[in-house]
Amino acid sequence: MEWLATVSHGEAVEWRKALISLLIAFGLTQGIAGVYMLTFRGLSYSRTVVQSMAMGSIITCMLMLAVGNNIAAGIGIAGGITAIRFRTTMRDPRDVVFVFASLAVGMASGAQAYGVAIAGAAMFAGASLLLHATGYGSRRQPDGLLRFIAPAGQAGADVSGTIAAILSEHCRTFSLVTLREAAQGTVMEHAYQISVRHPDLRSRLVASLQGVPGVEDVSLMLQEPTLDL
């Protein structure tokens, strides 16, 4: 290992300290990436985002170690970074927060502020798990969108009471969002946002509406508020 000392000069960080800094940065950000995978909800999961967290911390740690107290080197590295064009966009601000946390851990490790790096990573991971477990920020959303066709005119008025009774029986809440004529005014297309009293009642609701004379094309489009398309 003596050859490492020969290539180090000036105020460069001793290689053993640099290795420790890089390992701490890599290990802590793997923990952050693990928390991200555990708490992720959605359909746009990207393996490369998770890997970029761990690899990004190594890069920032390496840059901090290279700069040290050399202001000229810091300006040069900053200028080189600004020349890079990152064209990958992140749709979820939460992804950006996790990546930024990984970079911050790398910076703290590169500055050899190990206490800050460990405490910051632990606090960030703990806060993420706490917010995920408590459902902080979530709001009650409708379970789905109910659509069907009912007769227009007097025939529609006759079945409207039956439809309202069925919705009241099966749904906690329901609100009409769309009502329009179809088939040259002979039928009306209904669309309701609904919240069922229990998930088991969804199929019963559809079956009950299909049993009403004149009601056709009953469909229930479920929407999960924790999934992002």
* pTM tops 0.85: no
Measuring CA to CA, which residue among 184, 193, 201, 186 is closest to residue 147?
Answer: 193
Asked if 24 and 34 touch (Cβ cutoff 8 Å), the reply is: no
pLDDT digits (tens, 9 = 90+) for 179-222: 888 877 788 898 998 888 888 888 888 888 888 888 888 988 87
Which H/E stretch holds residue 133? helix 114-134
List the domain boundaries for the chain: 12-134, 144-222
Asked if 84 and 75 touch (Cβ cutoff 8 Å), the reply is: no
Please give the pLDDT value at position 68. Answer: 67
pLDDT digits (tens, 9 = 90+) for 85-135: 555 566 666 777 787 788 778 777 777 777 777 887 888 888 888 877 876
Domain 144-222: CATH superfamily is ACT domain (3.30.70.260)
Portion of the chain with pLDDT greater than 90, in percent = 0
Alpha-carbon separation of residue 99 from 54, 160, 164, 172, 229 (angstroms): 9, 53, 49, 40, 21
Please give the pLDDT value at position 186. Answer: 80
Q: What are the beta bridge partners of residue 149?
A: 189, 216
pLDDT digits (tens, 9 = 90+) for 89-101: 666 667 777 877 8
Please give the pLDDT value at position 120. Answer: 78
State yes or no: pLDDT of 226 exceeds 50.
Answer: no
Measuring CA to CA, which residue among 227, 192, 226, 228 is closest to residue 209?
Answer: 192
Q: How far apart are CA 82 and CA 176, in angstroms?
A: 52
Which H/E stretch holds residue 94? helix 93-110
